[in-house]
Amino acid sequence: METYQNRVINPNEYGSLLFDNKEEIAVKNVIKSRKIFRYSKTEYPYTMQFEKQITDKMNIKYCLGVINGTAGLITALNAINIKPKDRILVSSYTYIATALAVKLVGAIPIPMNIDFNNGIDLDDLDKEIDKGCKAVIVTHLQGRCFDLSKIRDKLRKKGIFLIEDACQGFSAKCNEVYAGTYGDIGIYSFQQFKQISSGEGGAIVTNNKEIYERARNYTDMGAVRDRFPNWDSNTCLFGQNYRINNITSAILYEQMKKLDYMHKKQKNSRKNILKKIEIYKISSILYSKDSNGDTGMNIIFFANDEKKIKDIIENTKNKYNVEVRKMWNGLYFDNKLFKDNKLTDKDLKENSCEKTKNIVSKMLVISIPPILSENEENTIANAIVDLKVNNYIY
């Protein structure tokens, strides 16, 4: 069995690696209080406090904790009143959950090429906007934040909603604007492999009171809640139970307090590794528009040959105990599930997102968790140099 001692140097895990007695005490507090339900009156209102930590940090008016990022996406679509058959433009390179959420409200996900400056390709966007759409979902990737100002301004003029799937981009920012706060509504995930983690968990952020209230009602089975829920108001809707609980929030509350440390540690390790490999002039390393706003949680670079990726992953693991990851195998709509049922031929033929496929088919990620020693940073640097010297990457 894999243990913490023999696992790879750089697991794709972050906040959870820093769990200590702080999370333990917070969870014990909730247990002692016997008030795990988020709307209980309690002396440990962790859910409210955690939501406030986010609104303060992100400089945004409203935050709502939810059970996970997928539920957050479904809630967001309901909060802006998306209806069956509405066309929703979606980043083609995203976790399948983004498009599943669109399908689950009966709407049609239309895949768009990605663009590492603007989030999605602006030409694609112009073409699709002309055909009509209700919302655009842009996915922030791997602890980085795209500058969505151009897209936001374009959509605002046309009354189209901008949703940010910031499940992977929690606490990343670009020019001081946090991922999730550019558009009308942003969604975060706190699943095991995310920057801060409670195993499962999520949150929605928005500056719009009406969207927030609809989202809150939707996650509370559509009710309007004073002390008790009721379904007798004009603002009730058919909703789900996606409420976060106080144990999850207690963990997230303590994780939030470690966030600045995590960023500092990851960024420092990333900087040290990049410094050590500088002389090898690896031109494929992907830098963000505002590298300073990155969480520092990884180094992304590109292989010379897609067919060698399996070797790259295996060799680096065997020789250095360093994990090189390929994020997802292909684009979400290439999965059988979507091919068989979801998109019309017309939509696919018009945009099979070849540009994205060409980019991401060679994209590789090395995680930089917030626990690396100097020795481990050296090992990761050596592993990357090895790939360059052997002409696996450019």
Ligand X SMILES: Cc1ncc(COP(=O)(O)O)c(C=O)c1O
Of these, 189, 197, 245, 266, which contacts ligand X (CB under 6 A)? 189
The binder of ligand X chosen from 12, 47, 68, 217 (CB under 6 A): 68
- Residue 202 contacts residue 187 (beta carbons within 8 Å): yes
Q: Are 20 and 27 in contact (CB under 8 A)?
A: no
Site for ligand X in 160-179 (CB under 6 A): 165, 167-168
| Closest approach of ligand X to the CB of residue 278, in Å | 31
Tell me whether residue 252 or residue 384 sits nearer to ligand X (CB atom): 252
Q: Which residues contact 148 (CB under 8 A, 6 or more apart)?
A: 118, 119, 138, 162, 164, 182, 183
> Binding-site residue total for ligand X (CB under 6 A)?
14
| Pairwise CA distance, residues 83 & 87, whole Å | 9
Restricted to residues 273-332, the positions that interact with ligand X (CB under 6 A) are: none
Residue with tokens 């603007």: 118
Residue nearest to ligand X (CB): 69
Do residues 297 and 142 lie in contact, with contact meaning Cβ atoms separated by under 8 Å? Answer: yes
Closer by beta carbon to ligand X, 51 or else 377: 51
**Residue 180 in contact with ligand X, rule: CB under 6 A:** no
Q: In the set 95, 161, 170, 338, which binds ligand X (CB under 6 A)?
A: 95
Cβ burial, residue 185 (10 Å; 0-12/13-18/19+): buried
Identify whether the C-beta of residue 167 lies closer than 8 Å to the C-beta of residue 201: no
Which residue's entry shows tokens 């005490």? 25
The residues that bridge with 229 in the sheet, in sequence order, are: 225
Task: Report how far residue 358's alpha carbon sits from residue 129's, in angstroms, rounded to the nearest whole number.
Answer: 24
Which one among 98, 245, 288, 316 touches ligand X, defined by CB under 6 A?
98
- Give the integer Cα–Cα distance in Å for 293 and 35: 37
Query: What distance in Å separates the CA atoms of residue 297 and residue 317, rounded to the nearest whole number?
Result: 19
Out of 139, 171, 316, 356, the only residue in the binding site for ligand X (CB under 6 A) is: 139
**Shortest CB 200 distance to ligand X, Å:** 6
Our CB check for ligand X shows the closer of 118 and 139 to be 139
Q: Please, which residue, 185 or 384, has the CB nearer to ligand X?
A: 185
User: Binding mask 202-231 vs ligand X (x if CB under 6 A, - otherwise)?
Assistant: x-----------------------------
Q: From the CB of residue 43, how many other CB atoms can be counted at a distance below 10 Å? A: 8
Phi, psi of 211, rounded to the nearest 5 degrees: -65, -45
Place of tokens 């991922």: 179
Stretch that binds ligand X, among 20-28, 91-99, 175-183, 232-240 (CB under 6 A): 91-99
Please check whether residue 162 is in contact with residue 184, taking contact to mean a CB–CB distance below 8 angstroms. Answer: yes
- What minimum distance in Å lies between the beta carbon of 96 and ligand X? 8
The single residue among 81, 191, 207, 268 that binds ligand X, judged by CB under 6 A, is 191
Residue 53 vs 189, nearer CB to ligand X: 189
Residues of the shown chain interacting with ligand X in the complex, contacts defined by CB under 6 A: 68-70, 94-95, 97-98, 139, 165, 167-168, 189, 191, 202
